[in-house]
A and B are shown apart, each in its own frame.
Chain A
Amino acid sequence: MTVVQERTAAAAPPPRRPANPVWAFLRNSWRQLTSMRTALVLLFLLAIAAIPGSVLPQRSVNAERVAGYFAAHPDLAPTLDRLGMFDVYASVWFAAVYLLLFTSLVGCVAPRLVEHVRALRSVPPDAPKRLDRLPQHAAATETTGEPAAVAASVAATLRKRRWRARVRQDDNGGWTVGAEKGYLKETGNLLFHCALLAVLVGVGFGAWYGWHGNRILVKGADRGFCNAVTQYDDSSLGARVGPGDLPPFCLELTDFRATFQETGQPKSFRAQVLVDEDGKESSRTFWVNNPLRLSSAAVSLIGHGYAPMLRYTDRFGKQQTKAVPFLPDKAGMLTSEGAVMFPDVNIDPKTNKRGEDLQVGFEGIYLPTASTDGRPASVFPAERNPVLFLTAYRGNLGVDAGIPGSVYSLNRGQIASGKLKQVSGTDSGRPHELRPGQAWTLDDGTKLEFLGTQPFVTLAVRHDPTQSLVLVGAVLGLLGLMASLFGRRRRIFFRLSPAKADGVSPAEADGMSPAEADGISPAEADGVSPLAGDGARGGRTVMEAGGLPRTDYPGFDEEFRDVVAAARGDEGTA
Chain B
Amino acid sequence: MAELSNQLMAITVLAYLAAMVCYAAEYAFGNRSHIGRAATRELVGAGGPPTIEPVVVEAPRHRGDLVGKIGVGLNVLALLLHLGTLVTRSVAADRMPWGNMYEFTLSVSFVGSAVWLGVLSRKPAIRHLGLFVALSMVVLLGANGLIAYTPVGPLVPALNSYWYVIHVSTIILASGILLFGAVPATLFLIKAGYDQGKTRFPYPLGKHVPAAETLERLTFRLHAFAFPLFTFGALIAGPLWAEASWGRYWGWDPKEVWAFISWIVYAGYLHARATPSVKRTTATWIALIGFATMLMNLFGVNLFFEGLHSYANAG
Which residues from chain A sit less than 8 Å from chain B, CB to CB? Answer: 1-2, 36-37, 39-40, 43-44, 46-47, 50-51, 53-55, 58, 60-61, 65, 88-89, 203, 212, 261, 263, 265-269, 287-291, 298-300, 302, 460-462, 464, 467, 470-471, 474-475, 477-478, 481-482, 485-486, 554
Contact = CB atoms under 8 A, between A and B. Distances in A.
Contacts of B275: 1, 36-37, 40
Given A61-B253, A485-B228, A212 B235 contact: no
Interface of B: 153-154, 156-158, 160-161, 163-164, 217, 224, 227-228, 231-232, 235-236, 239-241, 243-254, 257-258, 260-261, 264-265, 267-268, 270-272, 274-278, 293, 301, 305-307
A277 B52 CA distance: 94
8 contacts: A43-B264, A43-B268, A44-B265, A47-B268, A50-B257, A51-B261, A53-B252, A477-B231
Which of A47, A203, A265 has most B Cβ within 10 Å? Answer: A47
A460 B247 contact: yes
Given A61-B253, A478-B236, A40 B228 contact: no
A477 B232 CA distance: 10
Contact of B252 (A65, A89, A471, A477): A89
Given A36-B275, A261-B154, A61 B268 contact: no
B153 A265 contact: yes
B301 A54 contact: yes
A485 B245 contact: no
Main secondary structure on chain B at its contact with chain A?
helix
B154 A267 contact: yes
Contacts of A65: 306
Contacts of B248: 212, 460, 462, 464
Contacts of A467: 243, 249
Contact of A300 (B224, B245, B271): B245
A273 to B, nearest CB: 15
Contacts of A47: 261, 264-265, 268, 293
A533 B246 CA distance: 81
A475 B249 CA distance: 14
Contacts of A89: 252
Contacts, number: 132
B251 A61 contact: yes
A212 B271 CA distance: 37
Contacts of B243: 298, 467
A1 B306 CA distance: 42
B157 A268 contact: yes
B244 A290 contact: yes
B156 A265 contact: yes
A554 B217 contact: yes
Given A1-B275, A51-B261, A478-B231, 16 more contacts: A2-B276, A36-B275, A43-B265, A43-B267, A43-B271, A55-B305, A58-B252, A61-B253, A88-B252, A268-B157, A288-B157, A289-B241, A289-B245, A460-B247, A471-B239, A478-B236
B261 A462 contact: no
B261 A288 contact: no
In the A-B complex, list the 9 residue pairs whose CB atoms are closest, starting with the nearest: A300-B247, A460-B247, A54-B257, A289-B161, A54-B254, A47-B264, A43-B268, A288-B157, A36-B275
A300 B246 CA distance: 6
Contacts of A55: 305
A287 B244 CA distance: 10
A467 B247 CA distance: 11
Contacts of B307: 61
Contact of B271 (A36, A203, A471, A475): A36
Contacts of B246: 300, 302, 460
A470 B271 contact: no
B228 A481 contact: yes
A470 B235 CA distance: 11
Most buried by A among B154, B252, B265, B301: B252
B278 A289 contact: no
A53 B157 contact: no
Nearest to A1: B275
B278 A298 contact: no
B278 A291 contact: no
A289 B158 contact: yes
Contacts of A486: 224
Contacts of B153: 261, 263, 265
A287 B247 contact: no
A265 B228 contact: no
Given A36-B271, A53-B252, A267 B247 contact: no
Contacts of B232: 478
Given A263-B153, A265-B156, A482 B228 contact: yes
A36 B163 CA distance: 36
Given A47-B265, A54-B254, A474-B236, A40 B158 contact: no
Nearest to B236: A474
Contacts of A53: 252, 257
Contacts of B240: 471
A179 to B, nearest CB: 25
B288 to A, nearest CB: 14
A298 B243 CA distance: 9
B233 to A, nearest CB: 11
A147 B305 CA distance: 72
Q: Most chain-A Cβ atoms within 10 A of its Cβ — which of B161, B264, B275?
A: B264
A284 to B, nearest CB: 16
Nearest to B307: A61
